[in-house]
């Protein structure tokens, strides 16, 4: 080495550790990304997307449910998580709930009336059922978000 006394840990060694470590972790990162990508099809539940699920998602979007609720952890924290609401409550409860809003119950946050017909309610339930069957590895961890 050009500078000073020889020592066990040279500049060259530091450089090698730096480049070697960078390459190692870049490859590890690529491998983990590949592994995750590979598992998406079996976790996404995409094979169960029916026409009613698609219609239900449109209602979900156009009525801005996400403006108050979270779905699989994403959204607003004003109202309960709905990714698991089908499992927690079932389809009949969900339809009756939506029809019965606002409850006017004192001291509780209110949800608006959306005036949905039976077909729209069924579509929404199908969408929420489908969402609940996505394998999120138990995300979100808190049952009501
Ligand atoms: C303005 C805010 C707001 C919007 C928009 C909204 N909600 Fe809600 N929702 C609430 C609140 C607040 C509650 C909880 C009320 C309570 O517990 O008394 C609730 C509760 C619910 C529940 C019952 C949840 C449970 O855990 O029992 C369902 C199902 C639901 N909402 C579905 C929807 C759907 C579907 C949409 C869109 C069409 C929607 N909400 C839009 C505020 C909202």
Using omega within 30 degrees of 0 as the cis cutoff, is the peptide bond preceding 102 cis?
yes
pTM for this model (two decimals): 0.86
For residues 42 and 134, the answer to whether their CB atoms sit within 8 Å is no
pLDDT band at 5 (very low <50, low <70, confident <90, very high): low
Q: Is the CB of 100 under 6 A from ligand 1?
A: no
pLDDT band at 6 (very low <50, low <70, confident <90, very high): low
pLDDT at 109 over 60: yes
Query: What's the rounded Cα separation, in Å, for the pair 127 and 50?
Result: 9
Q: Best substitution site from 111, 117, 131, 144 to test ligand 1's pocket, by max atoms within 8 Å of Cβ? A: 111
Cα-to-centroid distance, 101 and ligand 1 (Å): 9
| Tokens encoding 32 | 């983990």
Q: Is the CB of 135 under 6 A from ligand 1?
A: no
Query: What's the rounded Cα separation, in Å, for the pair 109 and 107?
Result: 7
């Amino acid at each position: 080495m050009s500078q000073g006394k020889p020592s066990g840990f040279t500049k060259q060694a530091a450089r090698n550790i730096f480049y070697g470590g960078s390459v190692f972790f870049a490859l590890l990162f690529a491998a983990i990304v590949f592994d995750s990508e590979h598992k998406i099809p079996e976790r996404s539940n995409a094979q169960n997307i029916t026409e009613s699920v698609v219609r239900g998602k449109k209602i979900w979007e156009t009525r801005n449910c996400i403006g108050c609720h979270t779905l699989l952890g994403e959204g607003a924290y004003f109202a309960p998580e709905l990714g698991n609401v089908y499992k927690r409550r079932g389809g009949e409860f969900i339809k009756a709930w939506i029809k019965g809003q606002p409850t006017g119950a004192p001291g509780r946050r209110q949800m608006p009336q959306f005036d949905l017909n039976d077909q729209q309610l069924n579509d929404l339930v199908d969408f929420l059922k489908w969402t609940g069957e996505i394998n999120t590895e138990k995300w979100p961890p808190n049952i009501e978000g």
